[in-house]
Amino acid sequence: MRRAFFSIFLSFLMTFLLIAPSVHAASSQFIIKGSTSEKIVALTFDDGSDGTNFNKILDILTKNNVKATFFLTGAGANNHPQIIKKAVSSGHDIGNHSFDHPDFTTISTSEMTSQLSRTETIVKNLTNKSTKPFFRAPYGATNASTLSTVGNAGYTYTLHWTIDSIDWTGNSSTDITNRVLNNIVPGSIILMHTGAGASGTPSALEKIIPSLKNMGYRFVTISQLLGITGNPTLPNTGQATYTVRSGDTLYAIALRFNSTVQQLTQLNSITNPNLIRVGQVLKVPGGSTPTTPTAPTAPTTTYTVKSGDTLYAIALRYNTTVQKLVQLNNIANSNLIRVGQVLKISNSGGGNSSTPPATTTYTVKSGDTLYAIALRYNTTVQQLVSWNKISNPNLIRVGQQLRVR
């Protein structure tokens, strides 16, 4: 009797296990347009690392009382944090556009998750808002694995577009305007960009917004288009973070965030302040806003090397070059300087006043962005784009030779 009961029970259990559905998080819903016949339209902007036109776009939207949606990258949030804050405080929606814009169909599940979480952490600490539940794939590239992974990460909506302005190609404001107005339908999602490559976008917006209003259209955010609540406000932990990039030193990061090496060392339990790695996420003092170090004013003529310094960081801080420091201080190996070493920063006459060569080139390294290179060489993204005939400032490759002055 017991054997018969056990056999029936085991049979029932196996049947249940076979027919019971597996529990998985739903794949992210792929959205091309809003499901509506109402004349509403969503302006969306992808932000890369330079964000040259971001502030101008925000001003145009504010002037016309229009709310939009911005898909943010972690690299962009690191490079222009104040503009990201301004977008959120102005009431615009935000979404996640990865950390540094890789094709999600070519990277692993773990790397996709890392790209999303790094950006979420940076934006959350800047704005107290989550980028969830909205994701836009870099290049618009998705597949089943992508949608499953971003869905599992909490991004329940993957936003594609109805109208591609192709503004990143540098097409004219007239062409951008025509592409939008000639293809508009109720519920359209319009794709534009904030970077220097999309030079025609601000002027196009000045034409598109009044034209669509005259056609009876109303502008909405993605959350309004989908009829959901987006971008929840998160608890303020008072703890900001920074992701280490190629060429960073702890001293340079401390200087940027108005902190000290000792404070960063304690916050992050760092045993050796000379050893930090690219991609490492560091805690920085809560409420800190990154600043670009400025060169001290004359008559400073010497500098004492501190823990974590490199000759490059010192040259950057004093608006000079590694070569000049090497010559002034008779340094045999520019990679070897010691804590406490006193370096001459300028000649007694006020520094080397010789003019730089007519043209200087720079070879792009891993982790570089056009914005960071422009900052390093005291120029602008627009100038680099012009000199090097770059069609998309968000796309530079390792090994590429750039004219920098």
Q: Per the residue annotation, which of 46, 47, 50, 368 is the catalytic one?
A: 46
- What's the CA gap between 387 and 241, in Å, rounded? 34
Question: Could you tell me how many helices (H) and strands (E) the chain has, helices first?
Answer: 15, 15
> First vs last Cα of the chain: how many Å apart?
92
- DSSP state letter for 25: P
Active site (annotated) includes residue 193: yes
Is residue 248 annotated as part of the catalytic site, yes or no? no
Query: At 56, phi and psi to the nearest 5?
Result: -65, -40
Choose, from 92, 193, 248, 309, the residue flagged as catalytic: 193
Q: C-alpha distances in angstroms, 230 versus 155, 221, 317?
A: 11, 10, 41
Q: What is the C-alpha to C-alpha distance for residues 132 and 372, in angstroms, rounded to an integer?
A: 28
What SS3 state is found at 71? strand
What's the sign of the alpha-carbon dihedral 82, 86, 89, 94?
Answer: negative
What is the C-alpha separation between 108 and 105, in angstroms, rounded? Answer: 8
Q: What residues are annotated to the active site? A: 46, 193
